[in-house]
């Protein structure tokens, strides 16, 4: 999208000063003995360690394997009876673990394919649209119930038109094409998967007036160029098709006809023609075999440098006589989807620790999402074992399995929209996993205030292969340049301790409605590896057993991580949020914004007021950290402790803009949102950043004011935390009521 702007020396210096304190304390915390746990009173640490030992001793690889075999027994796409059967099985499993479990049903506008036809009509006639080929030894690969390759939410169409190759179909690719004097208007654009969400590819093709879009998987990206292909290796074979949604979730996810409200049967629905998230041009995924035929037939000039992929033909742009016939018939209906909601009730039902992943799959979904589902089941079983032994959660633990995530986060979005008020009052955090296990490499993204919790927990969970901690293996896998890219100043002294950076939350999974819309602190965890069968027929049990996690040891490890995260959030005296680290992220982005605005010569005071507000936020975070860090055991009465926790959780809500982001009001978070032209990847300070990219001075000023106001609200909440934590603060019962949404830092008592 835009070229990166190097940080100034001043930015490095200021960031280093702030970060040094954060990281030195963080690193030191993991070198301490088991006598302390972040957010826990000393008197409760031993009991928490005992709970965690029992929980971590429960997950069983054999049980995870059996669960995955059951989950992948049949294709179970959203909108089908098979998806309902999976939901009912999950509900019954949770009831057997001691949870109060139910199925919540929504009615959504959801298409299924009736006919997908593709053929080359010039310079010769040739049938395309080939299906995935069966693999010897993998009986699932010949299952006739597997859905054909299609893109959910594409409109029906019957189009015959010339073809133009547009590389990855990004903004820059279209700019390059236009510089060559080539237009896709009235033509079918051929693009390859990668470097962005497929729905953004469809939106860009629509904006450039293409008649249709074909998306294929190039072997350079996830096929034989990357390594051995299935069934010899884990990478995508030439016949594999990446299914997926093209719903414009970058505008809003969920049911396209009920934006912002739950898709109950009685909900007021807009007409499909008025739904901004629905694409207007037909889009179809094809495999590399068919793409090779099309590319070999293309004429015109050779592609620009960097556009050549891994197929054994010379790629051409395609101006000329090559034509395709595309026919797509989609069956749009109101269809039921089935969310599974399971609760392990705590001593306080006024606070919820929420975990979730989805259960629907494009076909069998062994990795996506079955690996996450089976790991979540093992974490839930372990929590149930604790409960049967006499433990009662301090807070209520809610575990959710969403339907219709694949078409566009429908199940989670509708549930959040239905329960937004209760979530903003009660939810402590949302813990997500999706493609839970494809290999041994731990990966995590989180709101910055929860980064340190993830590091702490992974320090206390063993890596199955090495016997060391997951954290140590995770840290050692990253190179110093990777660390330096994310953490300014970490390059100082090659032997200096380094911290592990986490990813930012964008979109593409079920944390999105919790975080981006409702302001609930969120994180996402998984174990990753070589995974080339994403959204294909071959993402099945056989692939997982031979390549992803043959022993299912990492499924059990993920269950231990999920369960321990839940216990830390459930049992903490003061919830373990680290807001100085959040302040560092915001300060870094604010400095970057100022540098870019200066280069762009953007008029107005936007960058300055954002910079001032980010400084205020950082100072307030530091004050709250000092106050909480100086607390002595027994210093807080229960009411004051409860108020501090409500304030600590509420900071994300303080960072929401009630009017939403410009042009996409469903997204309310002012600090993080998926990029409008990325779709999955997070944009930091999205409103101001994207208006600056567009050179839109009026929107830049508007979004700067909105962002600064959010940072001021968050800073005020931080100062409320500092006052509550000070020895002279009155009892919480004598303080005036205030809205939730305070920023906080976790203490180590």
Q: Any idea which residues carry the catalytic annotation? A: 405
Distance of alpha carbon 613 from the chain centroid: 27
Please give the structure tokens belonging to residue 195: 């470097």
The Cα 259–Cα 271 span in angstroms is 12
- Torsional class of 604: left (φ above 0), alpha (ψ -120 to 50), beta (otherwise): left
The Cα 714–Cα 707 span in angstroms is 11
CA distances (Å), origin 408, targets 191, 328, 404: 21, 20, 7
Contacts 24+ apart (CB under 8 A), 687-693: 687/657, 687/661, 687/662, 688/593, 688/606, 688/607, 688/610, 689/589, 689/593, 691/662, 692/593, 692/596, 692/597, 692/600, 692/602, 693/1, 693/2
Instruction: Please tell me the number of Cα atoms within 13 Å of 605 on its side-chain side.
Output: 6
CA distances (Å), origin 557, targets 67, 444, 452: 15, 14, 19
Please give the structure tokens belonging to residue 46: 């031993």
* Partner residues linked to 409 by β-bridges: none
Please give the structure tokens belonging to residue 152: 């959910």
Residue 725: CB atoms within 10 Å: 27
Q: What 3-state DSSP class applies to 391?
A: coil
Q: Which residues contact 205 (CB under 8 A, 6 or more apart)?
A: 166, 169, 184, 189, 191, 212, 213, 281, 283
Burial class (CB in 10 A: 0-12, 13-18, 19+), 564: buried
Instruction: Please tell me the number of Cα atoms within 13 Å of 745 on its side-chain side.
Output: 31
Torsion of CA 278, 283, 288, 289, to 10 degrees: 150
The Cα 403–Cα 566 span in angstroms is 22
* Partner residues linked to 107 by β-bridges: 336
Q: Do residues 259 and 277 make contact, with C-beta atoms less than 8 angstroms apart?
A: yes
The Cα 474–Cα 482 span in angstroms is 12
Helix (H) or strand (E) holding 107: strand 100-122
The Cα 168–Cα 567 span in angstroms is 43
Q: Do residues 258 and 277 make contact, with C-beta atoms less than 8 angstroms apart?
A: no
The Cα 31–Cα 591 span in angstroms is 32
Q: Which residues contact 698 (CB under 8 A, 6 or more apart)?
A: none
The Cα 563–Cα 386 span in angstroms is 11
The DSSP annotation for 344-379 comes to E--SEEEEEEEEEEE---SSS-IIIIIHHHHHHHHH
Q: Identify which of 180, 175, 160, 167 has the alpha carbon closest to the alpha carbon of residue 207.
A: 175
């Amino acid at each position: 999208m835009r070229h990166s702007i190097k940080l100034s020396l001043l930015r490095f210096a200021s960031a280093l000063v702030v970060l040094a304190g954060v990281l030195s304390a963080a690193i030191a915390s993991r070198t301490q003995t088991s006598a302390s746990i972040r957010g826990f009173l000393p008197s409760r640490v031993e009991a928490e360690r005992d709970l965690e030992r029992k929980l971590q001793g429960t997950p069983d690889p054999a049980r995870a394997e059996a669960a995955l075999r059951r989950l992948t027994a049949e294709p179970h796409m959203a909108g089908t009876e098979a998806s309902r059967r999976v939901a009912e099985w999950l509900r019954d499993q949770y009831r057997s673990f001691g949870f109060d479990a139910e199925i919540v049903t929504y009615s959504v506008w959801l298409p299924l394919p009736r006919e997908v036809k593709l053929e080359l009509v010039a310079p010769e006639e040739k049938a395309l649209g080939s299906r995935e080929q069966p693999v010897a030894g993998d009986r699932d690969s010949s299952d006739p119930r597997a859905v054909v390759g299609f893109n959910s939410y594409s409109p029906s169409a019957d189009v015959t038109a010339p073809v133009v190759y547009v590389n990855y179909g990004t903004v820059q690719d279209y700019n390059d094409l236009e510089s060559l004097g080539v237009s896709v208007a009235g033509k079918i654009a051929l693009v390859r998967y990668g470097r962005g969400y497929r729905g953004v590819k469809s939106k860009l093709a629509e904006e450039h007036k293409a008649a249709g879009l074909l998306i294929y998987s190039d072997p350079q990206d996830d096929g034989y160029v990357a390594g051995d292909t299935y069934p010899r290796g884990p990478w995508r074979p030439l016949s594999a098709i990446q299914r997926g949604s093209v719903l414009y979730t970058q505008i809003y996810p969920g049911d396209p006809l009920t934006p912002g409200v739950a898709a109950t049967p009685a909900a007021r629905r807009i007409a499909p023609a008025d739904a901004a998230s629905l694409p207007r041009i037909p889009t179809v995924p094809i495999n590399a075999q068919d793409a090779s035929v099309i590319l070999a037939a293309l004429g015109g000039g050779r592609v620009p440098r960097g556009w050549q992929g891994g197929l054994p033909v010379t790629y051409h742009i395609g101006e000329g006589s090559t034509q395709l016939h595309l026919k797509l018939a989609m069956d749009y209906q109101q269809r039921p989807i089935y969310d599974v909601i399971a609760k392990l009730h705590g001593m306080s039902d006024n606070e919820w620790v929420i975990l979730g992943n989805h259960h629907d799959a494009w076909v069998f979904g062994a990795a996506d999402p079955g690996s996450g589902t089976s790991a979540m089941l093992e974490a839930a079983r372990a929590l149930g074992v604790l409960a049967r032994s006499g433990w009662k959660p301090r807070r209520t633990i809610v575990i959710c399995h969403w339907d219709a995530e694949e078409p566009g986060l429908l199940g989670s979005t509708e549930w959040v929209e239905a329960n937004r008020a209760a979530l903003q009052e009660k939810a402590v955090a949302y813990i997500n996993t999706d493609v839970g296990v494809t290999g041994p490499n731990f990966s995590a993204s989180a709101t910055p205030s929860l980064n340190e919790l993830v590091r702490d927990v992974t320090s206390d969970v063993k890596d199955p292969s090495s016997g060391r901690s997951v954290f140590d293996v995770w840290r050692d896998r990253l190179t110093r340049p990777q660390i330096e890219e994310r953490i300014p100043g970490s390059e100082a002294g090659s032997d200096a301790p380094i911290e592990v950076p986490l990813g930012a939350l964008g979109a593409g999974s079920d944390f999105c409605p919790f975080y981006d819309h409702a302001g609930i602190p969120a994180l996402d965890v998984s174990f990753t590896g070589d995974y080339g069968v994403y959204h294909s027929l071959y993402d099945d049990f056989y692939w997982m057993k031979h390549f992803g996690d043959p022993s299912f040891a990492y499924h059990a490890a993920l269950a231990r991580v999920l369960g321990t995260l839940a216990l830390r959030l459930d049992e903490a005296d003061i919830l373990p949020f680290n807001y100085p680290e959040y302040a560092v992220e915001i300060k870094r982005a604010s400095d970057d914004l100022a540098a870019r605005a200066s280069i762009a010569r953007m008029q107005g005071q936007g960058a300055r007021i954002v910079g001032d507000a980010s400084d205020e936020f950082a100072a307030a975070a530091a004050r709250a950290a000092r106050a909480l860090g100086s607390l002595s055991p027994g210093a807080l009465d229960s009411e004051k402790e409860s108020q501090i926790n409500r304030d600590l959780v509420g900071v994300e809500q303080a960072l929401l803009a009630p009017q939403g982001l410009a042009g996409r009001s469903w997204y309310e978070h002012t600090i993080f949102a998926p990029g409008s032209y990325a779709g999955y990847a997070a944009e930091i300070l999205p409103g101001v950043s994207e208006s600056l990219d567009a050179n839109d001075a009026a929107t830049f000023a508007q979004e700067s004011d909105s962002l600064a106001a959010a940072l001021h609200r968050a800073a005020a909440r931080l100062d409320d935390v500092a006052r509550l934590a000070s020895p002279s603060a009155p009892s919480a019962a004598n303080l005036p009521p205030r809205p939730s949404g305070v920023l906080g830092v976790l203490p180590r008592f």
